[in-house]
Amino acid sequence: MDTLTPAPQAPRDPERLSRVRRAIPFLLAAGLVVMWSSGFVGAELGTGYAPATTLLAWRFLIVGGLLVAWCLWRGMRMGGRDLALHAGIGALAQAGYLYGVVAAAEAGVAAGTNALVAALQPMVAAALALPLLGERVRGRQVLGLAVGLAGVGLVVGSDLLHPGAAPWWAYALPFGAMLSLVAATLVERRTRPGGNLLEALAVQCGVSAVLFTALAGATGTLIPPADPGFWGAVAWVVVLSTLGGYGLYWANLARTSVARVSALLYLTPPTTLVWTWLMFGAPVGAGALAGMGVCVLAVWLVRSPAR
pLDDT computed for residue 1 by the predictor: 45
Which helix or strand (DSSP H or E) is residue 232 part of? helix 228-236
pLDDT computed for residue 108 by the predictor: 84
Which segments in the chain show pLDDT lower than 70?
Answer: 1-13, 20, 122-123, 126-127, 129-138, 141, 152-165, 259, 283-289, 292, 302-307
Residue count of the chain: 307
d(CA 210, CA 26): 35
Picking from 246, 263, 248, the residue whose alpha carbon sits closest to that of residue 202 is 246
d(CA 242, CA 92): 14
C-beta atoms surrounding 14 within 10 Å? 8
C-beta atoms surrounding 158 within 10 Å? 13
pLDDT computed for residue 57 by the predictor: 96
pLDDT computed for residue 114 by the predictor: 80
pLDDT digits (tens, 9 = 90+) for 98-111: 899 999 988 888 77
d(CA 194, CA 100): 28
> What is the four-CA torsion angle of 77, 80, 83, 84, rounded to 10 degrees?
180
The distance between the two most distant Cα atoms of the chain, rounded to a whole number of Å, is 89
pLDDT computed for residue 64 by the predictor: 92
pTM above 0.85, yes or no: no
pLDDT computed for residue 80 by the predictor: 86
CB 269 within 8 A of CB 119: yes
pLDDT computed for residue 50 by the predictor: 94
Q: Look up residue 153 and give its DSSP letter.
A: H
Give strand ranges (E) for 54-195.
Answer: none
C-beta atoms surrounding 200 within 10 Å? 24
C-beta atoms surrounding 303 within 10 Å? 19
d(CA 242, CA 234): 10
d(CA 180, CA 202): 19
CB 155 within 8 A of CB 287: yes
CB 237 within 8 A of CB 56: no
At 25, the amino acid letter reads P
